[in-house]
Amino acid sequence: MTTTLTKPPAEPVSEPPRRRRRSKASRAGGQLHAGPIAYIILALFTLGSLFPLVWTAIAASRDNQRLAQTPPPLWFGSNLFDKLEIAWTDANMGEAILNTTIVAGISSATVVFMATIAGFAFAKLKFRGRNALMLVVVGTMMVPPQLSVIPLYMMVAELDWSDQLQAVIFPSLVSAFGVFFMRQYLLQALPDEIIEAARVDGASSWRVIWHVVFPTARPAMAVLGMLTFVQVWNDFLWPFLVLTQNGNPTVQVAVAGLGRGFTPDQALIMAGALLGTLPLLLVFAIFGKQIVGGIMQGAVKG
């Protein structure tokens, strides 16, 4: 009590400059309130981001005749559900969405599992060759997987896997980014003391993984799972090479096949593109906040 009573005489002296300094600093740094210009620019970016998507739906709701007129349509017509239905059945979009969900689901679950145990080993266990192997992982991130499509294509031909989903699943299981991501997360999120404590209780490495690592890593596993799901869902080159539209397409193969294939009906093509995009947009609408957080988290550590 006495100290707080004795302080006030000193404070007014020091306070004015400090307050001025603080307000200046807040004006300078990143925490300033945005002005109208900032909001206008954001509105333009929002428009630019959403317009092609909205217009996909507009075009899908029209027909070929209307799309071959100027000015282009700016509002919805009446054909949307007809076109979506045709795309769903005739262009195999329904099957494609199911296929892609299977492929992306298996891939992301496997990638998350493998990346978590490998990331744990790299972050918290000591073993000979650890640094060299980690260097290989980082180097692998720089090599685009697309460079290996030709031997993969030969392998698929040899195994008779064309038009089979496993031809797409297996190559997508290699995720160096995932290993790196989980390692970075576990380095700071998993205290050594907890592992030591589990060891003292006689827990084997597998028990440590099951009872300590997985519970701790759950948020990062969710983020990695979502990022992998999006990436596999949108993967284009390799599925395009081994799957065909009438065989066992993924969404990308079906949409691309629609664009390059049998129909001159632009509205139908747009309906297919819309069907292929909607599932992920839905996921983003629901988990958008977590996905944004995950990308930003990965960025700081990457």
Residues between 49 and 68 with contacts to other proteins, criterion CB under 8 A: 49-50, 52-53, 55-56, 59, 67-68
DSSP secondary structure letter of residue 260: H
Where does this chain touch other proteins (CB under 8 A) — which range of 6-14, 117-125, 185-193, 216-224?
117-125
Distance CA 177, CA 141 (A): 6
Q: How far apart are CA 11 and CA 191, in angstroms?
A: 42
Nearer to other proteins, 10 or 142 (CB): 142
Residue 17 interacts with other proteins (CB under 8 A): yes or no: no
**Closest CB 239 distance from other proteins, rounded Å:** 10
CA distances for 177 relative to 168, 228, 234, 298, angstroms: 19, 10, 17, 10
> What is the rounded CA–CA span in Å between residue 155 and residue 143?
20
Tell the smallest beta-carbon distance from residue 120 to other proteins (Å).
6
Structure tokens at 40: 């206008």
Query: Which one of the spans 6-14, 77-85, 184-192, 271-279 is the region binding other proteins (CB under 8 A)?
Result: 271-279
User: DSSP character for 243?
Assistant: -
Positions in 73-102 near other proteins (CB under 8 A): none
- Decide if residue 123 touches other proteins (CB under 8 A): no
Q: How far apart are the C-alpha atoms of 271 and 94, rounded to whole Å?
A: 12
Decide if residue 273 touches other proteins (CB under 8 A).
Answer: yes
Name the amino acid, one letter, at 214. F
Site residue total, other proteins (CB under 8 A): 113
Could you say which residues in the range 180-219 bind other proteins, by CB under 8 A? 199-202, 204-206, 209
For residues 163 and 248, the answer to whether their CB atoms sit within 8 Å is yes
Question: Shortest Cβ distance from residue 36 to other proteins (Å)?
Answer: 12
Q: Is 179 in the site for other proteins (CB under 8 A)?
A: yes
Residue among 7 and 162 whose Cβ is closer to other proteins: 162
Q: Exposure pattern of 171-185 as b/e (b: 16+ CB <10 Å)?
A: bbeebbbbbbbbbbb
Q: Which is nearer to other proteins, 6 or 183 (CB)?
A: 183
Chain residues 245-264 in contact with other proteins, contact rule CB under 8 A? 251-252, 255-256, 258-260
- Smaller CB distance to other proteins: residue 2 or 276? 276
Report d(CA 22, CA 164) in Å as an integer. Answer: 63
Cα angle, residue 277 at apex, residues 102 and 104 outer, rounded to 5°: 20
Q: Which of 109, 194, 222, 291 binds other proteins (CB under 8 A)?
A: 291
| Cα 53 versus chain centre, distance | 18
At residue 50, what is the residue type? L
Distances (CA, A) of 289 to 107, 175, 285, 286: 23, 24, 9, 8
Find the binder of other proteins among 4, 6, 14, 70 (CB under 8 A). 70
Tell me: does residue 222 bind other proteins (CB under 8 A). Answer: no
* 289 counts as binding other proteins under rule CB under 8 A: yes
25 counts as binding other proteins under rule CB under 8 A: yes
- Of 65, 9, 72, 89, residue with least CA distance to 258: 89
Check the CA dihedral 280-281-285-289 and report its sign: positive
Residue closer to other proteins (CB basis): 189 or 278: 278
**Binding residue for other proteins, selected from 5, 10, 13, 34, defined by CB under 8 A:** 34
**Comparison of 38 and 191: residue with beta carbon closer to other proteins:** 38
User: Does position 132 bind other proteins by CB under 8 A?
Assistant: no
